[in-house]
Structure 1
Amino acid sequence: MSRNTRINALLLLVVVALAVLPLALGLGDGKKEPFAGSDAEAETAITEIEPDYEPWFSPLYEPPSGEIESALFAVQAALGAGVLAYYFGLRRGRRQGEQRARALADAPGAAHRTVPDDGADGSGRAEATAPADGAPGGAGESARGRA
């Protein structure tokens, strides 16, 4: 098992433990709303400390029920995770593309290289490229490459 696989398995185990342990240990027992959000906990604590507290502003939109509020929060979290995943995937793809281009440019001398096709069969296709020194042309240059 590689080092990255072990680290990923350990992180997954920690996440599962963080989700399951509070339920298994009964950490929410004895409370009216055992797993209420931090906003509700803060509001309760503030009203206990200062009963005359007046909020500075009110929400722009108050969902009609807690279920709708939870659904909107889940959609917001999913969109945020999607944007982050897209960004990091894009960065990784660019980095891998730069590494492949650098490896092709550094390869000793061949003007024609086999580039792996991204198809499911994994076969390669011959692609005419400029020589490694950047000079245009080459014996196998295609008409598309001359344009």
Structure 2
Amino acid sequence: MKVWQKNLILILLVVVIAAAPLWLLPNAEFGGADGEAEEAILELNPDYEPWFQPILEPASGEVESLLFALQAAIGAGVVGFVLGRITKSDKPRTEG
């Protein structure tokens, strides 16, 4: 199997894994861990007050999601770059 075929299969698997929950559970709420943790803390201790307040509060949930996705993309790019540099080989590879 050629490299491009393996890559195509992996890309299709990623798309299926990402789309399956949305297709199988169309009316589900996909909340984050932050909201769940806040609910659990307030349930255990209703008088709890956070130690810190955010320095900059995003304008909306969409902006917050955008910033999180941007952070994840930059992190993935750095990790991919580092792994690529570490595994780089000076000798030519044969395709096969």
TM-score (norm 1): 0.50
Q: Is the Cα contact below 8 Å between 1:63 and 1:69 reproduced in 2?
A: yes
Q: Give the deviation of 1:39 after TM superposition.
A: 0.5
The ranges of structure 1 where at least 4 consecutive aligned residues each deviate by more than 6 angstroms after the TM superposition are: none
Letter in 2 for 1:25: L
> What does residue 89 of structure 1 align with?
84
- The structure 2 residue matched to 1:55, chosen from 50, 54, 67, is 50
- Indicate how the Cα distance of structure 1 residues 92 and 8 shifts in structure 2: closer, same or farther if over 3 A, else same: farther
Q: Give the deviation of 1:48 after TM superposition.
A: 2.5
Taking only aligned residues, the RMSD between alpha carbons, in angstroms, comes to 2.8
For the pair 1:41 / 2:50, whether they are aligned, the reply is no
Q: Is the Cα contact below 8 Å between 1:22 and 1:28 reproduced in 2?
A: no
Higher helix share: 2
Number of aligned residue pairs: give it. Answer: 91
Higher strand share: 1
> What does residue 9 of structure 1 align with?
9
Aligned identity (percent) is 51
Structure 2: tracts of 5 or more residues without a match: none
> What does residue 19 of structure 2 align with?
20
> What does residue 126 of structure 1 align with?
none
C-alpha distance after superposition, 1:47-74 (max 9, x if no partner)? 2332212112222221121111111111
- Indicate how the Cα distance of structure 1 residues 52 and 28 shifts in structure 2: closer, same or farther if over 3 A, else same: farther
Structure 1: tracts of 5 or more residues without a match: 101-115, 117-147
Q: Give the deviation of 1:18 after TM superposition.
A: 3.0
> What does residue 74 of structure 2 align with?
79
Q: Is the Cα contact below 8 Å between 1:28 and 1:35 reproduced in 2?
A: no
Q: Give the deviation of 1:24 after TM superposition.
A: 2.0
The whole-number CA distance in structure 1 between the counterparts of 2:40 and 2:56 is 23
